[in-house]
Structure 1
Amino acid sequence: MTAVVTGLDVIAANGTGVAEYWEATLAGRSGLGVISRFDPAGYPVRVGGEVRAFEPRDHLPSRLLTQTDRMTQHALAVTGWALADAGVDPAELDEYAMGVVTASGSGGFEFGQHELQKLWGTGPERVSAYQSFAWFYAVNTGQLSIRHGMRGHSSVVVTEQAGGIDAAAQGARLVDAGTLRLAVTGGFEASLCPWGLVAQIPSGLLSTEPDPARAYRPFDGDASGWVAGEGGAILVVEEAGAARARGVDRVYGRIAGYTATFDPKPGSGRPPGLARAIRGALRQAEVEPSEVDVVFADAAGIPAWDEAEAAALAEVFGPRAVPVTAPKTMTGRLSAGAALDVATAFLALRDDVVPPSVGTRGSSEVDLVVDRPRELPVRTALVVARGAGGFNSALVLCEH
């Protein structure tokens, strides 16, 4: 794969925009806190990674506010920032040579909740016509393609946490194949509302720890689940030659290799698929395990899942052979949110620094970077993610 990333931007619980987010991440400032958008006192889960410092009216036209969920408002704003970062004006490019690939795990939960409250509280005549699509998991792809006039191949992937990786890889494939000249790709989540939270609680995978500083502790003996987060990231992906032709003199790096696998049926006796995904991504990238400088972990915060991930990393790289990090400990784990990890990994490549994990002591099984960043040459990064239900994805990023 030869596609390069020429622009990116993010929104997360600990920062709105890439500059604020990256500063907070390197400083180890967490955005996790007691949920404030509603009173969580009656719920077993009370901690979340809310996006608080974002006023959609400051970034979007008013006509879009009435027809979009917060998740889509984040996606629309961040895409504008990422295109500006790439120096791209979509109006100057062939509309059929640009496309959008996003990931979503839940769609516009909060918008849907409000309309259901209207339905049962005041009657069907009060329900917004925009309910027909604002809740839909594909809505971000649609709204972004309309707003920026991108009429080429566009799609959505739904593989939970792994979706952000799958979307980035699909965007890169479309560019490498010549189907698109430019792909906008990413993933977003904003399901910290009563309906969104109760949809996640029955899985038993979310942390019920009420202390935000102790709620999300991957690779820690006291891990009790993950914290749900909001936000996401967008990448602008282009073919390297096309980027040079339009005068781009700085890229974040190259999407070099990708593989997705699916875990076997429980009880089959066959091993999980994560190690196989990692080896496949390294093989496609033509990268040896010893060349990987950092792994951005899935970091579920569920003891059995963390043990399985540590075992997969040890199988491929050797015990504690590569630095591992989980900056999502500062943002919460976003369904489809591996896009945020991918963007963070490109920032690590840019600045030769591994961001820390916070709130966790780590374990003897992995060389987890904790509490403070680790400065070292970062030329190759591996991002891994797993989705509930058995999805595994691995993405190799390299310097251009």
Structure 2
Amino acid sequence: MPPIVTGIGTMVGDGTGVEEHWKAVLDGRSWIQPIQRYDASRYSSRLAGQISGFDVSKHLPSRLIPQTDRVTQLALVAGDAALADAGIADRGYDSFDMGVVTSNASAGWEFTHHEFRKLWTQGPEKVSVYESFAWFYAANTGQISIRNGMRAASGVLVADQAGGLDAIGQARRNLRRGAKLMVAGGLDSAFDPWGWLSHLASGEVSTAEDPSSAYLPFDAAAGGYVPGEGGAMLVLEHGDSGRPPANRHGVVAGHASTFDPPPGSGRPSNLTRAIRLALDDAGVQPAQVDVVFADGAGIPERDRTEAASIAEVFGPRKVPVTVPKAGVGRLLAGAGPLDVVTALLSVRDGVIPPTPHSRTIPDEYAIDMVVEPREAKVEVALVIARGRGGFNSAVVIGR
């Protein structure tokens, strides 16, 4: 039996929770706006999908805040929400039954930048001792496991957009190997000046000034992506644990990942193979998939490749395709897990959420782009994520 998703938690938009996120998605609301935390007027791109109104002091103990970067604080709060949703306080698990697998693509940029500034201006004696671990990619996994006493096999994956789905896939494998509960997902936040430059270095960030036209997945006017911050955490449990869970949001029925050939090799992307392997792992035929939550890079070449893979897998049938994260930006490691949560809500409520702003879809893509909320019976959803450097990942979600 595939693992059941018994808890979900999000940190995105206004940071108020899963149902608020779902309502914003169905309303087509966008959280993309000019950068708020500092003067970004000198940068070539100035729009980002930011979490607004988040007061960490209302969620975490004061002793923990100085030890953690913003991304870890977001991960802890999302993890707390997912665990509360799963009701694990009443589940009676031993600490060695529970583990954590997260993904993080940019680590603790803001914390490190702050401490480096102190190093350069005040001297090494002023640098926080917490810099030794707060910057690290594994900090989210470590802090969640410490906070909740989780000692089963754990880990961290670094694979840009694909990493969040791969973290869920790894958690699924850990359950097969003996763990009884896994917390899995991903979050990212790299919006201090140093982190922002790391986004811009890709040359793929949209330079549009208007938030409504900045990030347009699969649109004829697509000209780059908008970075976002946030993501989601999930709790996965065995379906036959003997302890009936408080919630059964759905199942992670299949997962697969592949790596693309080197650029210039002349060989095609392996995204198609990742999708087919995930469907095979789930025991699902393409005709059974009701919706695809696409990666939707908003970069014409990458959109074209993804659309071609979707068309190759699903044939002449135009499966509904949506990119609801266009309202919050590309979240790096947080994108896939947030799409999984959104897919679970789509299954629950029988509605396919829209892609905000994208309207003019080239005929060559041959996809059925969902641009308004669409009522439909959703039993199976496919979630796709692609990371810079050739990472591909796909997850199949079922009722």
Match of 2:370 in 1: 369
SS in 2 for 1:336: helix
Residue 344, structure 1, aligned to residue 345, structure 2: no
SS in 2 for 1:240: coil
Match of 2:114 in 1: 114
Match of 1:210 in 2: 209
Residue 292, structure 1, aligned to residue 289, structure 2: yes
Return the letter of the residue paired with 2:81. W
State how many pairs are aligned.
395
Shift, 1:318, TM fit: 2.0
Residue 378, structure 1, aligned to residue 378, structure 2: yes
State the alpha-carbon separation in 1 of the partners of residues 4 and 303 from structure 2: 31
State the alpha-carbon separation in 2 of the partners of residues 65 and 298 from structure 1: 33
Percentage of identical aligned residues: 53
Give 1:1-400 correspondences, 5 Å limit: 2-13=2-13, 15-89=15-89, 92-178=92-178, 180-242=179-241, 245-248=242-245, 250-319=247-316, 321-337=318-334, 338-363=336-361, 364=363, 365=365, 366-370=367-371, 372-399=372-399
Shift, 1:250, TM fit: 3.4
Return the letter of the residue paired with 1:65. I
Contact 1:188 1:334 in 2 (8 A): yes
Q: Which runs of 5+ in 1 are unaligned?
A: none
Q: TM-score, normalised by structure 2?
A: 0.97
SS in 1 for 2:211: coil
| 1:144-199 CA distance string (max 9 Å, x none) | 00000001101001111001100011111111232x10000010011111010111
State the alpha-carbon separation in 1 of the partners of residues 236 and 257 from structure 2: 20
With 192-201 and 141-150 compared, the bigger mean Cα shift is at: 192-201
Contact 1:34 1:48 in 2 (8 A): yes
| 1:63-90 CA distance string (max 9 Å, x none) | 0111111111111111111111111128
Contact 1:14 1:331 in 2 (8 A): no
Shift, 1:319, TM fit: 4.5
Contact 2:85 2:247 in 1 (8 A): no
| 1:105-153 CA distance string (max 9 Å, x none) | 0111111111111111222111111111111111000000000000110
State the alpha-carbon separation in 1 of the partners of residues 265 and 81 from structure 2: 47
State the alpha-carbon separation in 2 of the partners of residues 361 and 26 from structure 1: 16
Q: TM-score, normalised by structure 1?
A: 0.96
| 1:358-381 CA distance string (max 9 Å, x none) | 1111413211111x2111011000
Decide whether aligned partners of structure 1 residues 125 and 320 sit closer, same or farther in structure 2, where only a CA change above 3 A counts. farther
Q: Which runs of 5+ in 2 are unaligned?
A: none
Return the letter of the residue paired with 1:208. T
State the alpha-carbon separation in 2 of the partners of residues 95 and 388 from structure 1: 36
| 1:300-355 CA distance string (max 9 Å, x none) | 00000000000000000024610000011111101112111111111111111111
Decide whether aligned partners of structure 1 residues 91 and 374 sit closer, same or farther in structure 2, where only a CA change above 3 A counts. closer
- RMSD (Å), alpha carbons: 1.3
With 317-326 and 96-105 compared, the bigger mean Cα shift is at: 317-326
